[in-house]
A = this chain, B = another copy of it.
Amino acid sequence: MATAGISTAEKTEKLTLAQAVNHGLAQEMERDPSVLVMGEDVGMDGGVFRVTEGLLDKFGPDRVMDTPLAESAIVGAAVGLAIAGFRPVCEIQFTGFVYPALNQLFAHAARYRNRSRGRYPLPMVIRMPYGGGIHPPEHHSESYEALFAHTPGLKVVIPSTPGDAKGLIVSAIRDDDPVIFMEPKRIYRAFREEVSPEDYTVPIGQARIAADGKDVAIIAYGAMVRAALEARETLARRNVSAEVVDLRTINPMDIETILRSAEKTGRVVVVHEAPRNAGVGAEIAALIQERAMLSLLAPVQRVCGFDAVFPFPRLEEHYLPAKERVLEAVQKTLDF
């Protein structure tokens, strides 16, 4: 049977990032009957972004569960389901609505393996769209990856392409530890890409050189990778060769790749949407100066969201880091 969401194709297809996640979910549910999908509106509605579309029809209400409107219940019940032998994939409708679930995530999901001395690992995935760019009401544009990165026991993954999205969601589902899987909603459908219908994984913990260069390294993830690549084009015209590193995993970070690019170029700019203060960019800057200071030709620059609430739509474009701000930061490293 064919429904909108799910691929029945034998050969490579052009998919959006949202569809790629959908295909990854469908493939894993097919392969492993212990995989469950649960969350608000994930069933009949297929998720407000249609990422779980078609799964209810294909796998039925025992494996695709519309839950009550209660995020703590979604994650807390998933903990129990994981202990019962399932691999729940929870959807939190927006990152701005994950806070009610933080007690279950921080006090339990992140700690259960450790607390039980390895007896109860929790193979669970918490998916959530994150970031700005869709002009929604308040609370629909948050980027809170630093919270999860700062919490020992969680892994944090953020794809930036359809191909990675499928490979990473599969890895996340197969991972025996809780994985926070943040999806850049801004590029859910921004572009399509050839995605193999095969069963493949992209390993958690490995960054990707999105484009190589020698003068400066731009480290980004999620929707910001595009801003980085746009900046790279402009820089090329100015005869500046920029390398773009797509982090893909926020925790555990790919320290080798980060240091290699830093040492190779001597100049680093980190880009993310989240606020600056104690954000992921701070960690990257701290690590680089700690471990590669002597190869630095300039201080690591950070291009972040403001230390302010994400604005309502009419001012949204002023909040998000854009190509111009990346260029400005790169210039700083060149002029230093």
Contacts and interface: CB of A to CB of B under 8 A. Distances in A.
A150 B279 contact: yes
B278 A146 contact: yes
A290 interface: yes
Interface string A127-143: 00000000000110000
A331 interface: no
A206 interface: no
A255 B243 CA distance: 31
Interface in A12-54: none
A286 B282 contact: yes
A293 B286 contact: no
Nearest to A103: B99
Interface string A113-139: 011000000000000000000000011
A150 B277 contact: yes
A127 to B, nearest CB: 19
Contact of A299 (B114, B289, B306): B289
A68 B336 CA distance: 57
The 5 closest A-B pairs by CB, nearest first: A99-B103, A285-B286, A282-B282, A282-B286, A289-B289
